[in-house]
Amino acid sequence: WRNTSVVPYVTGKLAHATGPLIATSDFDHAVPDLIRPWVPGDYHVLGADGFGFSDTRAAARRHYLIDADSVVVKALQALAQQGFNGIPG
């Protein structure tokens, strides 16, 4: 009953992506993790797993490690795991 010849939209869009893919959510990491089966390559998810933190949005994002700096750190960690050292060639 399932047509297995159809390529899922997200798979097609990311088919030629290189390097790690980082998904970030202001909600639980489970939300972007739902598409993991259809994301080709090295996929990492950051999410705000928790509740009860009352402060500014920027402070909350920093607390849950989903701010821009945390995305950069995760991307660099993923690149290092792939063996990328930043030196061309």
pLDDT tens digits, 75-86: 999 999 988 877
Mean pLDDT of the chain: 88
* Those residues with Cβ within 8 angstroms of residue 27's Cβ, 6 or more apart along the chain or in another chain: 47, 48
* CATH class, 9-81 region: alpha beta
What pLDDT is attached to residue 1?
A: 54
pLDDT band at 74 (very low <50, low <70, confident <90, very high): very high
- Beta strands, E only, 1-89: 21-25, 43-47
Domain ranges of the chain: 9-81
Compute the distance between CA of residue 53 and CA of residue 60 in angstroms, rounded to an integer: 7
